Structure 1
């Protein structure tokens, strides 16, 4: 199954050195052992910081175990397929929301509007709004008010030119005035 995994720089997780390609272990118990990854990319942010981590697209196989905490899984075979840039990571996260609009929201997703924190803001709603500081990523998902599906996504990095720090932006990255909330 396709999943996502975060690592410390150099493919290191809890002191274990992974390699690109196939990694194999004996047991997979989500609470104790095995190679962990997540179906929802944003769940990686519950275990690793955004700024100091590398994110990868992986294929989890062999014996697979889940604990129901979030979309985290443990497996005995983990094939590391591709390192994702920060932009690609958030595009995959937005695509996950499009593909699974009715699943429980990740704790890193804000409803309606948010100011970036720890380098990013992920906002979902009927009219999502976000702002951030220079270098932050703003990921927006606009919901259909009738059925809750995602009808539009957008992603930008606050670059100080096209997207300015401290300014609120909507799904089309047009500037918006926002009252105190």
Structure 2
């Protein structure tokens, strides 16, 4: 099962009554798994990790593989497992992409809206004013804005089905800070860039 794991800057996490040290590419193991109690914890939706480790505060985020005994408890998409391997470290743009892919693959699931330090994922309108921050707007007429260095996403849906999605960055040349982008205005900006 593909999941996401967040850690402290030194790749440690609290585990039960102690601390566990992760290593990239090295499988971590636990004897048993029970969400919130024992095992190695991760989330199916990368942005659910933000509730445990926020963006931009030295925390690190990884795409991982969970195997063995996998337990769920209905707390967001959190799981506990008996074997977890951190496969790839994610930067904030990667996190935005993985969040959008989750929504594309699971359009009917609730809990996709998130906000926090460096993060705004909301229905219809999202805005971020922190460089390297993430703003994703999802809805029938989504619009998004951000500062230079922000990662922006638009997800359009009709009748409960996602019909278009686009991830882009505010570079200050082609995509400008403080401008509200829709899929149409983004397409126009991309046409101007190619001309």
* TM-score, length of structure 2 as denominator length: 0.81
In 1, Cα distance between equivalents of 2:98 and 2:108: 17
Q: State the match for 1:74 in structure 2.
A: 80
Q: State the match for 2:29 in structure 1.
A: 24
Report Cα offsets for 1:100-157 as digits up to 9, x if no partner. 11111323131101212662212100121011122222122111x23x1211111122
Compared with structure 1, are the counterparts of its residues 104 and 149 closer, same or farther at alpha carbon in structure 2 (3 Å cutoff)?
Answer: same
Give the aligned length.
Answer: 174
Higher helix fraction (1 or 2): 2
Report Cα offsets for 1:41-82 as digits up to 9, x if no partner. 121122211113222111111111111010010111101111
Compared with structure 1, are the counterparts of its residues 117 and 35 closer, same or farther at alpha carbon in structure 2 (3 Å cutoff)?
Answer: farther
Q: State the match for 1:120 in structure 2.
A: 134
1:33: how far off?
Answer: 2.4
Q: State the match for 1:179 in structure 2.
A: none
Matched, 1:98 2:104: yes
In structure 2, runs of 5+ residues without a counterpart are 115-120, 189-195
Q: State the match for 1:88 in structure 2.
A: 94
- Asked whether the 8 Å contact 2:68–2:81 carries over to 1, the reply is yes
Q: State the match for 1:178 in structure 2.
A: none
Q: State the match for 1:111 in structure 2.
A: 123
The CA RMSD measured in Å over matched residues stands at 2.0
In 2, Cα distance between equivalents of 1:117 and 1:150: 27
